[in-house]
């Protein structure tokens, strides 16, 4: 729990955990880490947030959790990211109202509240607590934990961890090339360029999740998709120990518990009854195509070495699986101009919200949005 925060109102006491072993949380993410004021909503369960990029196995993990009687899972709710982008924390770029005016108005309004941001977070949490509680009461009243696996939580982690400092966080990672390959093959017929143009998921998701793993402002457990599908019994025990619930080996037969339709990836998990490692090497064969490899490597080239190390895939060993398969010669050294570009991006992004150039970038971005409003 964050220092100075009130005791959690959930019925299950929070478990402090480091990235892999359950040790104490360390530094906070950017911004003040405030526990919300009392919301008046009484809940008798704990919240579990699965933090992962798309195509990293979060649907499979949530299905297994949902198969345990103490846990309620299901599709992605997507109720918190919109709250994070109403204007106080971040504005949206397009809306049926004026998002820039709304952001300025909210900042001025919240600054007048007696407890400022804490009052705003309390109001947001009153809504989300109520919705989670109503879902639990309707679908599984005996559940001690409710799981939310919305991937976009990774893009608003400072807001989420201030809104729910007393929740548990399961951070699920996967080899970055496997994520990119799965995304391109699942939605873009293997066209990696089109996939990256639509959403550069490695560049958007890896830095904030890696930062969460390093700073550990909340109780979290780091899991990898590869370990979960190759050693499901071992990983399930780690998860249950972290969550404080009994181990149910039968939950690995996740099809025994039906889930309602909704956002997520029901197609992959629907082909099996339990975690399997059949597709672990699919990305190796996919990236045997030079064009596919070039696109994925371009995405990884702009990431910081520190983030890849934290992710569990150091740059030096990123392509080991391809080398072992004989699919790829040793990669050429990164051209100087690309190395300089990566260094510049990483340096400028670091703590951008707390450095002068970050405030300048935000101001220019807001002014540009005003100037370009209505432009074709």
Helix (H) or strand (E) holding 50: strand 46-51
Domain boundaries, the chain: 46-280
The per-residue DSSP string of 226-271 comes to HHHHHSHHHHHHHHHHHHT----GGGGSGGGS-----SS-HHHHHT
Sequence-ordered list of residues with C-beta below 8 angstroms from that of 120, at least 6 positions apart, any chain:
88, 110, 113
How far apart are the C-alpha atoms of 24 and 195, rounded to whole Å? 38
Per-residue pLDDT of 198-225, as tens digits, reads 999 999 999 999 999 999 999 999 999 9
Would you call 197 exposed, middle or buried from its count of C-beta atoms within 10 A (0-12, 13-18, 19+)?
A: exposed
Is the pLDDT assigned to residue 349 strictly greater than 70? no
| Nearest residue to 147 via CA among 3, 1, 12, 6 | 12
Residues 46, 14 contacting (CB under 8 angstroms) = yes
Assigned token pair, 186: 């699942």
For residue 335, what are the contacts with CB-CB under 8 A and spacing of at least 6? none
Smallest CA-to-CA distance from 209 within 243, 169, 181, 238 is with: 169
Query: Taking residues 22-38, what's their average pLDDT?
Result: 43
Thinking of the domain 46-280, which architecture would CATH place it in? 3-Layer(aba) Sandwich (3.40)
Instruction: Decide which of 36 and 289 is more confident.
Output: 289
Predicted confidence (pLDDT) at residue 262 exceeds the cutoff of 60: yes
What pLDDT is recorded for position 14?
Answer: 37
Report pLDDT digits (tens) over 89-127: 787 777 787 888 888 899 999 999 999 999 999 999 999
Percent of the chain at pLDDT > 90 equals: 55
Kindly state the tokens that stand for 88: 């106080």
Quick: pLDDT tens for 271-319. Answer: 777 888 888 889 998 998 899 999 999 999 999 999 999 999 999 999 9
Percent of the chain with pLDDT over 70: 77
């Amino acid at each position: 729990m964050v220092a100075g925060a009130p005791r959690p109102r959930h019925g299950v006491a929070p478990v402090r955990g480091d990235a892999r072993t359950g040790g104490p949380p360390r530094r906070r993410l950017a911004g003040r880490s405030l526990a919300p004021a009392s919301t008046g909503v009484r809940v008798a369960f704990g919240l579990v947030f699965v933090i992962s990029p798309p195509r990293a196995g979060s649907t499979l993990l949530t299905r297994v959790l949902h198969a345990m009687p103490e846990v309620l899972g299901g599709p992605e709710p997507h109720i918190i990211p919109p709250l994070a982008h109403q204007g106080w924390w971040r504005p949206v770029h397009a809306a049926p109202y004026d998002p820039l005016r709304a952001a300025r108005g909210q900042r001025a309004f919240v600054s007048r509240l007696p407890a400022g941001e804490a009052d705003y977070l309390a109001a947001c949490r009153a809504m989300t607590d109520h919705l989670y509680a109503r879902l639990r009461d309707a679908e599984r009243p005996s559940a001690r934990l409710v799981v939310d696996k919305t991937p976009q939580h990774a893009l608003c982690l400072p807001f989420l961890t201030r809104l729910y400092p007393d929740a548990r966080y399961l951070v699920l990672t996967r080899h970055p090339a496997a994520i990119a390959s799965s995304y391109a093959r699942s939605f873009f017929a293997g066209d990696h360029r089109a996939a990256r143009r639509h959403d550069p998921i490695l560049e958007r998701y890896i830095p904030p999740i890696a930062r969460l793993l390093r700073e550990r402002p909340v109780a979290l457990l780091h899991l990898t998709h590869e370990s979960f599908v190759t050693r499901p019994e071992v990983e399930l025990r780690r998860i249950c120990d972290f969550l404080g619930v009994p181990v149910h080996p039968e939950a690995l037969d996740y099809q025994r518990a039906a889930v309602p339709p909704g956002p997520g990836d029901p197609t992959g998990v629907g082909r099996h009854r339990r975690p399997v490692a059949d597709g672990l090497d699919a990305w190796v064969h996919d990236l045997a195509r030079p064009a596919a490899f070039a696109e994925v490597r371009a995405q990884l080239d702009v990431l910081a070495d520190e983030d890849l190390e934290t992710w569990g895939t150091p740059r030096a060993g990123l392509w080991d699986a391809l080398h072992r398969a004989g699919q790829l010669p040793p990669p050429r050294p990164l051209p100087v101009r690309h190395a300089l570009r990566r260094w510049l991006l990483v340096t400028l992004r670091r703590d951008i919200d707390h450095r002068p150039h970050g405030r300048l970038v935000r101001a220019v971005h807001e002014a540009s949005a005003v100037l370009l409003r209505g432009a074709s």
